[in-house]
Amino acid sequence: MTQIPDLLLEPMVRHALHEDLGAYGDVTTRAVIPEGTRYAARINAREPGVVSGMQIAAIAFRLVDPALRVTTHVADGQPCAPGDTLMEIEGSAASILSAERVALNFAGRLTGIATLTAAFVKETQGTATRVTCTRKTTPGLRAAEKLAVQHGGGFNHRYGLSDAILIKDNHIAAAGGIRAALGAATASASHMLKIEIEVDTLDQLSEVLEVGGADVVLLDNMSTPDLARAVEMVSGRLVTEASGNMRRERIAEVCATGVDYVSSGALTHSARTLDLGLDF
């Protein structure tokens, strides 16, 4: 099961709980539920998918009430079918109800991302191509959404602006061209920092190969025949990444070109929230 430490996820869950509980807490639950009422609740899947967000849902329940007993039955990264119980929560009914919406918001959203990622990954079968996400994530939720991509069998691109050099078309324009941009990048990069450069045409790729210094080339919005030609030109000297217009129905033909990675912002910005419910 792919996880990151709870410590790194807690701040976003705390923020969501503060947002939902407001300044005075859950007034409905406090007014309606008799003090001391205990219940056993279940998070159930209402449609098929690949589960993500169970770790975060558990954090939400425990932050509201550490005394709640949370049992995960379907781990993050595992498939689910309609009617499957993903998690059981036992304890104070008021605490369960106060955490319910935040837990479900995270779990449904992240399970949707994992499910869409798994569908993309399925299209790569029989090839060595990997599916990776981008930085097109919901502000404040990047750690969770990138984790969900892993749960769906995908890989993570750079986490943010600080962990890799990615020279895009606007960088190239502002720097004065490919040669200038690569020269400046290689002069400043440490031995631990990878350099990727974006190209839109095969002529630009030729220049990148001539200049040298890059570790990865991003082949942006190229036709499938141009992608195949680009892979031939690179001939293993650089890691190749195909990006732009990477719809699910196109993934198989792109993988057949031999690219190393297919990156798609749709994994995180266009995933549909999966229908999960909490039942008493």
How confident is the model at residue 245, as a pLDDT?
87
Alpha-carbon distance of 277 to 184, in angstroms, equals 52
Buried b (16+ CB within 10 A) or exposed e, 152-163: bbbeebeeeeee
How confident is the model at residue 120, as a pLDDT?
98
Residues 107-164 have pLDDT tens digits of: 999 999 999 999 999 999 999 999 999 999 999 999 999 999 999 999 999 999 999 9
Look at residue 170 and give its three-state secondary structure: helix
Q: Does residue 1 surpass a pLDDT of 90? A: no
Residues 4-30 have pLDDT tens digits of: 999 999 999 999 999 999 999 999 999
- 130 pairs with which residues across the strands? 261
Which residues are designated catalytic? Answer: 101, 136, 168, 198, 220
Alpha-carbon distance of 60 to 98, in angstroms, equals 10
Alpha-carbon distance of 68 to 62, in angstroms, equals 6
How many other C-beta atoms can be found within 10 angstroms of the C-beta atom of residue 86? Answer: 23
What average pLDDT score do residues 189-195 get?
96
**Structural contact between residues 237 and 213, judged by C-beta atoms closer than 8 angstroms:** no
Mean pLDDT of the chain: 97
Alpha-carbon distance of 94 to 88, in angstroms, equals 15
Residues 147-160 have pLDDT tens digits of: 999 999 999 999 99
